[in-house]
A and B are shown apart, each in its own frame.
Chain A
């Protein structure tokens, strides 16, 4: 039994050395400094696991170039028509909504999310961390 205990200790030491190597070479970020997601945000990988409604908060031109499949265009300029389209999709099958804008630095998705939360207080609404850039 003592030799088995020794085996476990050796494995623990080797794992610690490996972790040290990953941290020292920069392969791994510091676990305690892992970036947190903000309130109301969702990561792309989590969003992909859900059946949801994508809402594109970028401008019409960017939306026309490319967008997430079946995403609904909703921004300040087309608020009324976009909201009607979104309501139709949501009322037919109520699902969480994920709003995205161009990238992590854009704030449009958060503004649209705030307006939507006021308009649809019962809806589950998130903003996509990293925006369209993370999808690309």
Chain B
């Protein structure tokens, strides 16, 4: 099987993995936005009403974009949103790490209280960012009229 034949399989696997991770992350936060709000506060970057709005909107954005990745009519915007979210998460974790905050990630809803492993979180999000970047490239390369014929 050549590389061109393998591309749809790799793309499908990347979409399924990303969708799985983001659905898993979103559902507990939708169930308990108050606990998620507490996790947001712990990062000490936003406060007040903005915390409540973020705790309310972000999980839904994650869920819809996760499902959207698998929908042909939503997959491009969903991939761009997910890439943006991952960039924000990586920056947040790096920032909290640099400030020496001993906090719970809040990434997958309520934590077991064991704290965050910053290097692991950043590594995981970077790998997911690489996967979604590949999907964005694939979607836009297929749409582009300047696509190179191989």
Known pairs A7-B74, A31-B53, A43-B38; A22 contacts B68 (CB<8 A): no
Binary contact readout B35-65 vs A (1 if CB under 8 angstroms, 0 otherwise) = 0011101101000110111011100110111
B76 with A11: CB separation less than 8 A: no
Known pairs A15-B57, A19-B60; A30 contacts B102 (CB<8 A): no
Which of chain A's residues have a CB closer than 8 A to the CB of B42? 45-46, 49
B63 with A18: CB separation less than 8 A: yes
Partner of B60, one of A10, A22, A31, A32: A22
CB nearest neighbor in A for B58: A15
B89 interface residue (CB < 8 Å to A):
no
Within 8 A of B (CB), among A3-31: 4, 7-8, 10-11, 14-15, 18-19, 22-23, 27-31
Interface locus among B1-9, B16-24, B26-34, B118-126: B26-34
Bound-state Cα–Cα, A8 to B65, Å = 10
Least CB distance from B28 to A in Å reads 12
Partner of B103, one of A4, A18, A49: A49
A11 with B102: CB separation less than 8 A: no
A46 with B41: CB separation less than 8 A: yes
Bound-state Cα–Cα, A73 to B120, Å = 39
Bound-state Cα–Cα, A27 to B103, Å = 24
Least CB distance from B7 to A in Å reads 21
A8 with B77: CB separation less than 8 A: yes
A65 interface residue (CB < 8 Å to B):
no
A36 interface residue (CB < 8 Å to B):
yes
A48 interface residue (CB < 8 Å to B):
yes
Bound-state Cα–Cα, A11 to B82, Å = 12
Which of chain A's residues have a CB closer than 8 A to the CB of B49? 31-32, 34
Can you list 21 residue pairs at the A/B interface with Cβ under 8 Å? A10-B74, A10-B77, A11-B64, A11-B78, A14-B64, A15-B64, A18-B30, A18-B64, A22-B33, A23-B56, A27-B32, A28-B33, A30-B52, A31-B55, A32-B49, A34-B52, A43-B38, A46-B41, A46-B42, A49-B44, A49-B102
* Beyond A27-B31, A45-B38, 18 additional pairs, beta carbon < 8 A: A7-B73, A10-B73, A10-B77, A11-B61, A11-B77, A14-B60, A15-B57, A15-B64, A18-B63, A18-B64, A19-B56, A22-B30, A22-B60, A28-B33, A28-B34, A29-B34, A31-B55, A31-B56
- The list of the 6 closest CB pairs from A to B, nearest first, reads A31-B52, A18-B60, A7-B77, A28-B33, A34-B52, A31-B53
